[in-house]
Every structure is written in C-alpha cells, then in structure tokens.
C-alpha cells in the first residue's frame, strides 16, 4: 500500500515538474525521442515535447491506478 502511494506521489511530482517546466526541455525531448523510437512512432517536435511527456505520465498513472482498482474490486468479490 505504501508503494502505491509513493508511486502516485512521485508521478504527480514528475508531472508537475514537466508542467511547470522545471525539467530541462532538452532532456524531456530526448527521453520522448527514445520512447517514441522504441515503439516506432514519430517523435513530437521539440517545442511540444513537454505536452507529450505530460500526456504519457498522466496516461501511465491512470492505467496503473485503474488496474489496481480493478484488482482490488475483483479480489473483494472473490473473498
């Protein structure tokens, strides 16, 4: 349980750092270029990289929390 809370806090802090542009834009752009290259899609323009990074982080957070919520729901129905 503590790990889930820590994960959520870290991801929210990371999203806030991206949104407030506290991270260097070159680092965010490079990370997105690497991520998009791995999955084989076109990387975003460097000036729009922070928006795409924010979308990735928020999507990851929603997916992980949604899966955990479904797991808790299913386990509560079985027991």
Tens digit of each residue's pLDDT, the chain (79 residues): 889 999 999 999 999 999 998 988 888 888 888 988 899 998 888 888 889 999 999 999 999 999 999 999 999 988 7
9, 57 contact by CB (below 8 A) = no
d(CA 70, CA 60): 15
As for how many domains the chain has, the answer is 1
Range of the domain at 34: 2-78
Q: CB neighbours (10 Å) of residue 70?
A: 10
């Amino acid at each position: 349980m503590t790990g889930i809370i820590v994960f959520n806090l870290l991801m929210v802090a990371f999203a806030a750092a991206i949104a407030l542009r506290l991270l260097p834009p070159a680092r965010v752009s490079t990370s997105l270029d690497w991520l998009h290259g791995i999955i084989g899609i076109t990387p975003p323009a460097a000036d729009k990289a922070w928006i795409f990074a924010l979308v990735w982080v928020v999507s990851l957070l929603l997916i992980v929390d949604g899966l955990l919520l479904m797991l808790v729901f299913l386990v509560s129905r079985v027991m």
